[in-house]
Structure 1
Amino acid sequence: MQLNTTIEIPADAKVLIIDDEAANVALLTRLLQREGFQRLSSTFDPRSGLDMFRDIKPDIVLLDLMMPHIDGFQLLEAFSRLVGPHNFVPIVVLTADTSITTRRRALSLGAKDFLVKPLDAVETVLRIVNLLETRFLFLELQRLTGDIVDGGVR
Structure 2
Amino acid sequence: MIPQIVVVDDDPIILKNTWNTLTDAGFKVIIFKSGRALLEYTQDNAAPDLILMDINMPEMDGFEVIRELGKSETAWKNTPVIFLTANEDEDTETRGLALGAMDFIRKPFVVSVLVLRIKHAVELIRLQRDLESMVDEKTRENENLFLHVVESLADAIDAKDNYTKGHSGRVASYSKDIAARYGYDEKRQDKIFMMGLLHDVGKIGVPDEVINKPGRLTDEEFACIKKHPAIGGKILGNIREMPELQAGAKWHHERYDGKGYPEGLSGEDIPEEARIIAVADAYDAMTSKRSYRDALPQEVVRAEIEKGKGSQFDPRFADIMLEMIDDDKDYLMRDDPPDK
How far, CA to CA, are the matches of 1:83 and 1:62 in structure 2? 21
Q: Which has the larger radius of gyration?
A: 2
1:134 aligned residue (87, 108, 124): 124
Q: Count the aligned residue pairs.
A: 134
CA deviation string 1:31-72 (max 9, x = no partner): 0111111x2111112211123245230110000000000110
What runs of 5+ residues in structure 2 fail to find an aligned partner?
Answer: 140-340
- Pick 1 or 2: higher relative contact order, CA cutoff 8 A, min separation 6: 1
1:5-154 equivalent positions in 2, closer than 5 A: 12-37=2-27, 39-54=28-43, 55-82=45-72, 88-144=78-134, 145-146=136-137
1:132 is displaced (CA, Å) by 0.3
TM-score, normalised via structure 1 length: 0.78
Q: 1:89 to 1:100 in 2, by over 3 A?
A: same
Match of 1:3 in 2: none
The AA in structure 2 aligned to 1:43 is F
| Percent of residue pairs identical | 28
Whether the 8 Å CA contact 1:95–1:115 is kept in 2: the answer is: yes
Classify the secondary structure of the residue corresponding to 2:127. helix
1:91 is displaced (CA, Å) by 0.8
TM-score, normalised via structure 2 length: 0.37
Whether the 8 Å CA contact 2:70–2:78 is kept in 1: the answer is: no
How far, CA to CA, are the matches of 2:42 and 2:101 in structure 1? 15
Q: Which has a greater percent of helix?
A: 2
What runs of 5+ residues in structure 1 fail to find an aligned partner?
Answer: 1-6, 148-154
The AA in structure 1 aligned to 2:127 is L
How far, CA to CA, are the matches of 1:130 and 1:82 in structure 2? 26
CA RMSD in angstroms, aligned pairs only: 2.1
CA deviation string 1:7-33 (max 9, x = no partner): 5xxxx2111000001100101111011
Q: 1:46 to 1:121 in 2, by over 3 A?
A: same
